[in-house]
Amino acid sequence: MKNIVLHLKKAIIFTFTKKDGLQDQSVLYRRKDDKESEVFLDPNKFSKDGSDSLSGISFSTDGSLAAYSVSEDGSDWRKIYIIDTETKKQIEKNPLFDVKFSGISWKGNEGFFYSSYPKPKKGANYLRKQILIDCISIKPDQIKKMTKFTLVKKYKKKEDMWEVMLLKMIDI
């Protein structure tokens, strides 16, 4: 994981990973201004056997929140957790499930976009990836006022096999 520099509330926060050689996963540290480094997120504590890993992290615009994804036992499927960066405590009771091949892209501090697949019927394939938004401080009926998508180009291969849409997000 690369070093990340955040400008948080007029203080510079540096986050970086470090591994001592005995750990299964690299640990994410942070350093505020000239203070000592501290553990920000330790993936070695995600599971007893160390098989769960940090697969991505994204910070809200002001750096007060972080959403991070966890891979369990090397699976492509992820769970996304949201934490307060000051306290490092989870702010939503349950993680987001069924996330696959997704990044996390914040819209200010209100929420973030991620992608998932709808649950298929038993025996069917996972099709039609969807873009979802997890809203931290927005009521669901306000989402449409926050962002709209415009179709730029649509690709289709064979009837009902897969469909890809190139979307452009526009702030309203």
- Cα separations (Å) of 19 from 29, 90, 101? 10, 24, 25
Closest CA relative to residue 133, chosen from 91, 170, 96:
96
DSSP states along 115-148:
EE-PPPPTTPPP---EEEEEESS--GGGHHHHEE
User: What is the domain partition of the chain in residue ranges?
Assistant: 4-171
Consecutive H or E run containing 138: none
pLDDT value of position 98 = 82
pLDDT tens digits for 19-41?
A: 777 788 888 888 877 788 889 99
The H-or-E segment that residue 144 falls in is helix 143-146
- List the single range of 6-15, 25-34, 58-67 with lowest mean pLDDT: 6-15
Arithmetic mean of pLDDT, 143-172: 48
What pLDDT score does 114 carry?
84
> Cα(89)–Cα(95) distance, rounded to whole angstroms?
13
This prediction's pTM? 0.71
* Residue 10 pLDDT exceeds 50: no
How is residue 19 written in tokens?
Answer: 């591994």
| 53, pLDDT greater than 90 | yes
For the 4-171 domain, the top CATH level (class) is mainly beta
